[in-house]
Amino acid sequence: MEYRILGRTGIKVSAIGIGGEGFENKSYRDCEALIDCAIKEGINFIDLYNSNPEVRTNVGKGLSKYPRNSFVMEGHLGSMWDKGQYRRTRKISEVVDAYEDFLTRMQSDSVDVGMIHYVDDPKDFDTIFHGEIIHYVRELKEKGTIKSLGISTHNSDIAFRAVQSGIIDVILFSINPAYDMLPANEDVNVLFEEDTFKNRTYEGIDSKRDQLYRTCQNAGVAITVMKAYAAGILLSDEESPFQKALTPVQCLHYCLTRPAVASVMVGVANADQILAATAYVSSSNKEKDYSAILANRRGSSLNGHCMYCGHCSPCSKKIDIASANKYLDLASVQGDVPETLKNHYALLEHHASECTGCGLCMKNCPFGVDVIFKMKQAVQLFGN
């Protein structure tokens, strides 16, 4: 495994980390197996935004077998569990309760990176950085309960403001070659509209995004990466805006060659996906090279592609939208829907047919997904 220093924090982290999405809907034994495989492969860095108490408990139990100083934990503040669903919160009492719950379930008295969760809107940024939340997290850092302070965002302008604040040590930011083509000042919801990639020639990284990465590096602010595969879109010939699939190794190499990037947090659901990511360490320069694919792209779009991040929650009908979309997308690329996939969908507590079209999810989605339309597609495909 390759290890890097997490910016000015001085913390040593593996270049490949794991995100928390893959622990959802898994037994403790399955979660334990993922953790064991990751640590065996030299991964020492885990990001856990997931507020599901069962997930937190399982991951905490799995990690408790290992010395606390043998792994680095990136935990989120502002992500909570409410009535059986994830919800983002800025209410200080809820932020405190959710963070204390996180520590309890993770069986730890501290977090290496305290990540202020999902800040994409300028008004939200102002609320946080001029209110009770920033005072709370700074107090935690002073006490050592949080060793370093981070923020997660998909918006380059917010990332710039975070660096300029002088108090953010780490930024969890969405990076991949498709996103980097786009001007940093575009609204995050516009990035995925139909004409976004149309007739656009890849000419390297947008100058403002490139400036962000270099600014972070110069300031000692580390970047940890999310969405490196764009939820698998970049791994598909049919779905990729480059009309040719990149390999996991190529995606990871792209991210890890950006200035200030310390680690890529890969969403993994099984051991094979961990091994596909850690193969990066032993790959040749030829296997890592992505330049020909980027140079030969034609116009395309990422419109409507769910990243399965769960930011659309809460749903007024408690539909697990991320899972429903995942099963829909998996089914859509196959001729006949496998029975196993039908069964997975059937086991969801609430189904797409319960969608009322209220639109709350679409307001929350940072990727411009037409969730209501996708729920209608799911009903047509699965029957409920």
* CATH (domain of 51): 3.20.20.100
The per-residue pLDDT for 5 is 97
Range of the domain at 245: 3-295
Q: 305 in a domain, yes or no?
A: no
**C-alpha span between 281 and 290 (Å, rounded):** 16
Tell me, yes or no, whether 45 and 92 share the same domain.
yes
Query: For residue 270, what pLDDT band results from cuts at 50, 70 and 90?
Result: very high
**Rounded mean pLDDT, 11-30:** 94
Q: 267 in a domain, yes or no?
A: yes
Total domain count, the chain: 2
Does 70 have pLDDT greater than 50?
A: yes
Q: 341 in a domain, yes or no?
A: yes
Does 339 have pLDDT greater than 80?
A: no
Last-in-domain residue among 295, 310, 330 = 295
**C-alpha span between 351 and 122 (Å, rounded):** 34
Candidates 282, 275, 289, 285; CA nearest to 247 is 289
**Rounded mean pLDDT, 99-118:** 96
Tell me, yes or no, whether 249 and 363 share the same domain.
no
Tell me, yes or no, whether 107 and 141 share the same domain.
yes
Q: 100 in a domain, yes or no?
A: yes
Tell me, yes or no, whether 357 and 281 share the same domain.
no
Q: 63 in a domain, yes or no?
A: yes
